[in-house]
Every structure is written in structure tokens, then in C-alpha cells.
Amino acid sequence: MEIRIDGWRRHLIFSAAHFLSDYSKCSRLHGHSYAVHIVISGYPIDGIIMDFEVIKEKIKEIIDEIDHKVIIPEEDVKVKENEVEIIHNKKRYVFPKEDCAILPIKTSSAESIASYILQEFLNRVDINENIDEVAIGIDEGYGQGAWAKRKIK
């Protein structure tokens, strides 16, 4: 059995800028409106697999931390006081630190952001023995995105 939450319909959305330094087509700074979807597989305890409100609350906490920021992989940056500097392919970007979400990811692709949100979600919720798998999907605009899954058992 599984439960599903559609990020577009439940307003689990955020906007952010990024660039993919290792992918030429997307190597320029650009942004997306993202939606976060979740599927949790398992069996019900007392009639439910997991409380929808808890799921949405935790996802909202995570996306609020990266909403309206520049998503930057931590290995790409040099942090100087209140500035973040990135030098890539003869380009130099400098952003106010408060405008950046420096994440422990290798690239700011939808795949990496999905994996990051999945790990953060698992760190922030109590996963009961009835949960078999958790999957997080990230859409970069309506209808295209990436999914990350984690088997619990």
C-alpha cells in the first residue's frame, strides 16, 4: 500500500536559481519553479501509513530553506564573510551569502536536489517499522522531473 502527495496540488513548491557547471546547455544561471512530490510505501498502523500533515510540514520546512535562493553545491564555493564566490568556465559569480542555499550535493540537478530533499526528510521524521520505502520527486516545471527512492527495510 502507498500514500502519495502531489506537490503542485498541495502547494509544496519553491522557486530557485541554479546552474549545472558540468552540463553546457544548462551552465548559465537560470531558475525554475519546482514542485516536491512524495510517495511512501508500507502498511497501515491504526489505519494510516503516515500522517499527511506531518509529511507536508517536514517537506515545507525543507523547501522553505531553499526557496528563492541560488542552489549551490558546497564543493563549488568559496565563502568570504557574507559573500559566496563561484568561479567556473571563466565566469565569476558573487552572491550575498543569505541569498544562497549551499547544499551537500555534487551538482544542482533535479536528481541531486531530489536526493537531498529525501535525505533531509528522512533525517527530520520518525520512520516507523511499517514504512518500506520513501520516494521524493522534484519537478522542474510542470511535467518533468527526477525521483529519488530509499528502501527502509
Helix (H, G, I), strand (E, B) or coil at 118: helix
* pLDDT at 125 exceeding the cut of 70: yes
Interatomic CA distance for residues 145 and 59, integer angstroms: 17
The more confident residue out of 141 and 53 is 53
Structure confidence at residue 133 (pLDDT): 97
Interatomic CA distance for residues 68 and 82, integer angstroms: 18
**Model confidence over 63-90: pLDDT tens digits?**
999 999 999 998 878 888 899 998 877 7
Interatomic CA distance for residues 61 and 152, integer angstroms: 22
Instruction: State the pTM of this model.
Output: 0.92
In CATH terms, is domain 2-71+106-151 a member of 3.40.50.2000?
no
**pLDDT level of residue 57 (50, 70, 90 thresholds):** very high
